Amino acid sequence: MKIAFFDAKPYDLPAFKAEGEKNGLEFIFYDTKLNIDTVALAAGCKAVCVFVNDTVDSSVIDRLCDLGVKIVALRCAGYNNVDLEHCFKKLHVVHVPAYSPYAVAEHAMALLLTSIRRIHKAYIRTKDFNFSLSGLTGFDLHGKTAGIIGTGRIGRVFIDICRGFGMNVIAYDKFPAEGAGIDYVSLDELLERSDVISLHCPLTEETHHLIDSSAIDRLKTGAVIINTSRGALIDAEALLEGIKKRKVGAACLDVYEEESDVFFRDFSGHIMSDDTLARLISMPNVIVTSHQAFLTEEALENIAETTVANILDLNENGYCENELCYRCGKVEDCKKGRSGRCF
Ligand code: NAI
C-alpha cells in the first residue's frame, strides 16, 4: 500500500521508513504541506499521512476522494485542521491520541523555568563572558498557584510535575475527571487565582481565543501563560497588548495562531512579515519554540508505530480504535467516544 506523507521533515523519516518496511507499507515523502494545490500528489495512494499544519478542508477531502484515497492518517493528537464532518461517509480519519504526554508536559515546564529564571538571557550572557546578574531575578514556583486548563493526558502529567515543585494546582475542564483528586474551579476563578496558567485543552469552536482580552483583564498582574496546545486558543494580539500593559508577566509559546506559514521552516536572514509574531518574539519575557513540544525520540517512535498500526487496522479489519468520530466531530463527548464511531 502506498501512502503520501505530507510536510515530511528529516526527523520523521527514520522511524516511518523503518515501520513502513517492517509492515509492507510504502511511504512517499513530500516536503510540501497538503492543501488544494498539492493534493494531486496523493494520486495512486490509499492513504495520506498528515501533520498539524496540513489542510484537510472540504475541497481537499473531495479531491482526495476523487483520487481514490480512503484514509487520512494524522500523525498527531490534535485534529482541528480536519473537517471531520465533511469526511463522513467519504474518508476514514485516524489519529495518534497519545504518544508521549511526558514530552509535551516536560517541554511546558522547560519553557516555564527558562522564562521565569531567565535562562535564555543567562545563556547568551555567559556565552559572551558576561557574568553580570542584573535583570535576572526570577521567582520561586514553590507555593505558587498553577491553573491547568484541560486535564487530559498531558494536563495531568503537567499537574504531577507542578505538584513536584510544591505548587498548588487548580484546574478547569469542560469534562472534569471525577475522583481524580483534581481541584476543579470555574474558568473565571482559575484566571483570577493562578500565578501560572497552562493550556492543555483541544482547539474547538468553543476554545478558540479562550484567552482573549477579557480573560487577560481577569488575570493576576504578572501571571505567566504557557501554551503548548494550539495557537488559536490565545488571541495573539490581545496577548501582546497584555504584555505591553505589564498585565502578563511572561508568555511561553510552543504554538502560535498563524504558525502554519512560519513554523518548522528557517527564516533566518529573511524579513519576518508577521508583525505580531515579530513583536512577541522581541519581548524579553516571551519565549517561542516552533511546535517542538512533542519532539522526543520516544514520541517519534510511538507516533510512527501507532500511525502504521492505525492504517493496517483499517485496511485489514475495517476498524481502528483511533478512528475519529467524524459524524459529530467530537471525540470527548461523543456517546460512543473512542470505543467506536457514533454513526
Ligand atoms: P486529551 O484529549 O487527553 O485532553 C484534553 C482535555 O481537554 C480533556 O480533559 C477534555 O475534557 C478537555 N477539554 C475539551 N474541551 C474543553 C473545553 N472547552 N474547555 C476546557 N477543557 C476542555 O488531550 P491531550 O493528549 O492531553 O492533548 C491536549 C492538547 O495538546 C491537544 O489537543 C493538542 O492540541 C496539544 N498537543 C500539542 C503538542 C505539541 O507538540 N505542542 C503535541 C500533542 C498535543
> Is 154 a pocket residue for ligand 1 (Cβ < 6 Å)?
yes
264 and 193 share one domain: yes
How far is the centre of ligand 1, averaged over its atoms, from the C-alpha of 148 (Å)? 11
- The verdict on residue 332 lying in a domain is no
For residues 82 and 122, state if they share a domain.
Answer: no
Q: Which residues contact 4 (CB under 8 A, 6 or more apart)?
A: 28, 30, 34, 41, 42, 45, 47, 48, 49, 69
Side-chain-facing half-sphere of 228: CA atoms under 13 Å: 25
Residues 55 and 92 placed together within one structural domain of the fold: yes
Q: Cα(250)–Cα(286) distance, rounded to whole angstroms?
A: 6
Q: Write the CATH number for 115.
A: 3.40.50.720
Domain boundary among 243, 263, 288: 288
- Are 113 and 146 contacting, i.e. CB atoms less than 8 angstroms apart? no
In the 8-state DSSP scheme, what is residue 34?
A: P
Last residue of a domain, one of 240, 267, 288: 288
Q: Is 104 in the pocket of ligand 1 (CB under 6 A)?
A: yes
Residue where a domain terminates, one of 268, 288, 308: 288
Q: Is 287 in the pocket of ligand 1 (CB under 6 A)?
A: no
Closest atom of ligand 1 to CA, residue 200: 28
Strand order in the sheet with 196-199: 168-172, 145-149, 196-199, 223-227, 248-253, 286-288
Do 69 and 189 fall into the same domain? no
Which position has the grid cell 538571557?
A: 121
Are 276 and 231 within 8 A, CB to CB? no
Instruction: Yes or no: say if 243 and 285 are a contact pair by the CB < 8 Å rule.
Output: yes
Bridge partners (DSSP) of residue 253 are 227, 288
Q: Using CA atoms, how far apart are residues 300 and 168, in angstroms rounded to an integer?
A: 32
pLDDT by residue for the chain (343 residues), tens digit each?
999 999 999 999 999 999 999 999 999 999 999 999 999 999 999 999 999 999 999 999 999 999 999 999 999 988 889 998 898 888 999 999 889 999 999 999 999 999 999 999 999 999 999 999 999 999 999 999 999 999 999 999 999 999 999 999 999 999 999 999 999 999 999 999 999 999 999 999 999 999 999 999 999 999 999 999 999 999 999 999 999 999 999 999 999 998 888 898 899 999 999 999 999 999 999 999 999 999 999 999 999 999 999 999 999 988 888 888 766 655 555 555 545 555 4
Contact, 69 vs 42, CB < 8 A?
A: yes
Residue 291: active-site member: yes
C-alpha cell at 287: 519565549
Per-residue pLDDT, 330? 58
Query: Under a CB-based contact definition with an 8 Å cutoff, are residues 228 and 293 in contact?
Result: yes
Cβ(245) to ligand 1 under 6 A?
Answer: no
42 and 123 share one domain:
no
Predicted pLDDT at 7: 96
217, 189: one domain: yes
Which letter does DSSP use for residue 39 in this model? G
Q: Does the annotation mark 298 as catalytic?
A: no
- List CB contacts of 61: < 8 A, sequence separation 6 or more: 83, 86, 87, 90, 91
pLDDT at 85: 84
Residue with cell 481577569: 218
Measuring from atom 3 of ligand 1, which residue has the nearest CA?
A: 152
The domain tally of the chain equals 2
Find the domain containing 25 and state its range: 2-99+297-324
**Binding site membership of 114 for ligand 1 (Cβ less than 6 Å):** no
Residue 209 C-alpha to ligand 1 middle, in angstroms?
Answer: 15
Give me the helices (H) in 24-93, please. Answer: 58-66, 84-87
The residue to mutate among 154, 170, 260, having the most atoms of ligand 1 within 8 angstroms of its beta carbon, is: 154
Say if 267 falls within a structural domain.
yes
